[in-house]
Structure 1
Amino acid sequence: MTTDATSTTNAVMRGESGASLASAQERFEPVLVAAGADAKLLGEQLFALSDALDGSGGLRRTLTDPSLPAEAKAAVVRQLLGAFDDRVRDLAESLVALRWAQEPDLGHAVEHLALEGVLASAQAREALVTVEDELFRITRLLSGQRELRTALSDPQATVDNRIALVDRLFEGKVDDVTLLLAHRATTNLRHRRFVPNLLAYSDIAAERRRRLVAGVTSAVDLTPVQLDRLAGILERAYGRPVQLNVTVDSAVLGGLRVQVGADVIDSTMLSRLADARRRLVS
């Protein structure tokens, strides 16, 4: 399954910005764990900060200016976030003390940490797998619904109208975190459209569970034994647990297509991986 997650992962924010985001994640993760289900509030407040950064070039320039003392930037944060949770203010102050290669990277980092917060709240309720599955199912549901996809990504429509459409489609049918992320996906159209946003969020959910996401398209339904075998082959090949998102499509040539990130693997390649594994252990 491919995603356009270019603005939400430190894998893409390399160099100074990637290191800064990684540092912030390490600092914030214990806070999220301690917050439990309340981490959702922290995520929502970070979304608001991300929007403020995205909407004000002056604010971005001030908070990413390496020539300004960290305390001066922290004072701006305290004034801006006076009504926010102390944990969000503390995180924001630590973020502006870090170095960012480009102005937008700070906002992207805040957006990523907001997503981590919202997803951590689902994880605390043992609902993260449910949220990830629902995000995937929504994207599959919309794959054949061009008019709906267009309406959910229409920049000419008001944000309130797009959110109302999300509610009509999904409210009461999905987890609260899934619904919140769907709201965010239709609100935050600056870098991606609705469906690519959801796919990016699903990848971050998978990362929280320390799993890669493998999009599997099969000509026929796979049995539990086949799924276990496929997951095992991929996990040994990538050295990490792999989450399988399976779609059945009779038009798939060769019977099976697997995509992990930018890697596309057909049935023949899977057989070679399995054979190579057997030779290594024999």
Structure 2
Amino acid sequence: MRGEASRIADRVSRDALAPKLREAGQDAWRIGNELFTITNVLDHNVQLERALTDPSRPVADKTAVLHELFGDNAHPVTTAIMTDLVGRKWSKASHIANAVEDFGVDAMMYYTDATDTTLKVSVELAELHSALLRLPVVRAKLYDLSAPAQARVKLLHTVLSDAGLNKVTLRLAEHATCNPRNRRYLETIQWLINKFSRHMGESMITVTTAAPLSLDQVKRLVSIYSAKLNHPVHINSVVDPSVIGGMRIQVGDEVTDNTVVAQLEKLHRSVRASA
């Protein structure tokens, strides 16, 4: 969990620089890639994180460190973002990498806006989440930190070679693979789904069932949750035979689990408690 100083720094910085990212148009693709690279560098260099977040160090010294790292090679917006971030206060040194990653995802979302592919990428991320839910062995290998990042990314490309994914979907999946950042793979994909949903002003409702939802069921769920949340929603239908029956519905962090397996587990706990 981020401290108060880091939350404020992240929010204020992103609010201030969002217009620059939005105005970058298709350059946002380059900016996002640069920010993901910087995130990876920071995650693997604690001394650098400390140098860029030390409150006793003048901001001019920190920006000089940035110039040593990137020179004139980075996009001007990337440089503006990093300059803004090193000028702010952080609860922990590692939190600056979280903020850089947030900006990287924001850049990718603005790129999809510029190319009219935002909904497509959001749906593809949901489909990827659903597919990997049924591939636990592949999922484990994508998260296996004992294997080199290059090998994990190669496996990802093999799995997705015939999927025809948008390049942003693929790049986000690559980022989750080569730099897990202490998150489970599906946790990262769900985080990305939620970010895209908020960006679009609609919620991604993930519905897990033992069999595919019918068209009528999807329409009914869209109607119910659009009215409940007072804005449009998209249904991400996940098929998982292990739930046996019923539905598990996730809206952001809120989960309503009425599946048969959940009810059986609840009954089992109740029996054990009364024994």
The one-letter amino acid of 2:120's match is: T
**Deviation digits for residues 205-257 of structure 1 (CA, Å, limit 9, x no counterpart):** 21211223221124665455543442343234334443321224567577333
Which residue does the alignment assign to 1:94?
Answer: 84
> Quick one: structure 1 residues 206 and 34, their matched pair in 2 at CA, closer, same or farther if it must change by over 3 Å?
same
Q: Distance in 1 between matches of 2:43 and 2:211?
A: 45
Q: CA deviation at 1:48?
A: 1.4
Q: Distance in 2 between matches of 1:117 and 1:35?
A: 9
Instruction: Choose from 13, 16, 27 the match for 2:5.
Output: 16
Secondary structure of the corresponding residue to residue 255 of structure 1:
coil
Instruction: Choose from 119, 127, 140 the match for 2:117.
Output: 127
Secondary structure of the corresponding residue to residue 243 of structure 1:
strand
Is the counterpart of residue 62 in structure 1 residue 59 in structure 2?
no
Q: Distance in 2 between matches of 1:121 and 1:215?
A: 25
Q: Distance in 1 between matches of 2:174 and 2:242?
A: 33
Q: Does 109-118 or 78-87 show the bigger shift?
A: 78-87
Secondary structure of the corresponding residue to residue 94 of structure 2:
helix
Q: CA deviation at 1:96?
A: 0.8
Q: CA deviation at 1:42?
A: 0.1
Which residue does the alignment assign to 1:255?
Answer: 246
Q: Distance in 1 between matches of 2:3 and 2:232?
A: 24
Q: Distance in 1 between matches of 2:221 and 2:153?
A: 38
> Quick one: structure 1 residues 26 and 222, their matched pair in 2 at CA, closer, same or farther if it must change by over 3 Å?
same
Which residue does the alignment assign to 2:262?
Answer: none
> Quick one: structure 1 residues 266 and 33, their matched pair in 2 at CA, closer, same or farther if it must change by over 3 Å?
same
Q: Distance in 1 between matches of 2:137 and 2:255?
A: 29
Is the counterpart of residue 191 in structure 1 residue 173 in structure 2?
no
Q: CA deviation at 1:45?
A: 0.4
TM-score (norm 1): 0.82
The one-letter amino acid of 2:198's match is: E
Which residue does the alignment assign to 2:100?
Answer: 110
Q: Is the 8 A contact 1:185 1:193 kept in 2?
A: no
Secondary structure of the corresponding residue to residue 131 of structure 1:
helix
Instruction: Choose from 141, 147, 160 the match for 2:150.
Output: 160
Which residue does the alignment assign to 1:264?
Answer: 255
TM-score (norm 2): 0.83
Q: Which runs of 5+ in 2 are unaligned?
A: 259-275
Q: Distance in 1 between matches of 2:135 and 2:241?
A: 19
Q: CA deviation at 1:266?
A: 5.8
Secondary structure of the corresponding residue to residue 147 of structure 2:
coil
Which residue does the alignment assign to 2:135?
Answer: 145
Q: Does 226-235 or 58-67 show the bigger shift?
A: 226-235
Aligned sequence identity (%): 29
Q: Is the 8 A contact 2:39 2:98 kept in 1?
A: yes
Is the counterpart of residue 78 in structure 1 residue 58 in structure 2?
no
Q: Distance in 2 between matches of 1:63 and 1:125?
A: 34
Q: Distance in 2 between matches of 1:254 and 1:149?
A: 24
> Over aligned residues, Cα RMSD in angstroms?
2.4
Q: Is the 8 A contact 2:211 2:241 kept in 1?
A: yes
Which residue does the alignment assign to 2:126?
Answer: 136
Higher relative contact order (CA 8 A, sep 6+): 1
Which residue does the alignment assign to 1:215?
Answer: 206
Which residue does the alignment assign to 1:3?
Answer: none
> Quick one: structure 1 residues 224 and 167, their matched pair in 2 at CA, closer, same or farther if it must change by over 3 Å?
same
Q: Is the 8 A contact 2:130 2:239 kept in 1?
A: no
Is the counterpart of residue 50 in structure 1 residue 39 in structure 2?
yes
Superposed structure 1 runs of 4+ greater than 6 Å apart: none
Q: Which runs of 5+ in 1 are unaligned?
A: 1-11, 268-282
Instruction: Choose from 15, 19, 27 the match for 1:26.
Output: 15
The one-letter amino acid of 1:85's match is: H
Instruction: Choose from 209, 220, 234 the match for 1:243.
Output: 234
> Quick one: structure 1 residues 154 and 222, their matched pair in 2 at CA, closer, same or farther if it must change by over 3 Å?
closer
Q: Distance in 2 between matches of 1:14 and 1:131?
A: 31
Q: Distance in 2 between matches of 1:240 and 1:176?
A: 28
